[in-house]
Amino acid sequence: MSYALRQPSFIRLKAQMSLTGRFNHALYDKVSRRTVHATVDTERSAQHLHIVIRMGSTLNSICLPLDAKSNANRVADNLEAIANGRLDTADTGITRELLIAAA
């Protein structure tokens, strides 16, 4: 299976990087039409953006520089890596050049 965020979800995720809060996202597999749900908590501090991702029984967190343009890409890559079971390999897969241009 290959779960991925749809483009509208990525655009919302990009906007959420400038907010503090809890947001729900769904990742879809085009072939099997299955869905995986994730909760993303964002907390902005003076210098960092702290992200907590909850998916199923897993809890993952990352700390990113505040207002970096690549934050949404890194969070989306982590969401997809967790959903597809490849987070530990550091193989984040697809680059998001097309989604950046659309957002």
> With contact defined as beta carbons under 8 Å apart, do 7 and 30 qualify?
no
Question: What pLDDT, in 10s, does the model give residues 13-68?
Answer: 999 999 999 999 999 999 999 999 999 999 999 999 999 999 989 999 999 999 89
Q: What are phi and psi of 81, to 5 degrees?
A: -65, -40
Question: What pLDDT, in 10s, does the model give residues 68-79?
Answer: 999 999 999 999
> Cβ atoms within 10 A of the Cβ of 24, count?
10
**One-letter amino acid of 23:** F
Q: Provide the number of structural domains found in the chain.
A: 1
> Which of the two residues, 44 and 98, has the higher pLDDT score?
44
The boundaries of the domain holding residue 9 are 3-102
Residue 25, SS3?
A: strand
The CA distance from 38 to 46, in Å, is 26
pTM higher than 0.75 = yes
**Residue 103 has what pLDDT?**
52
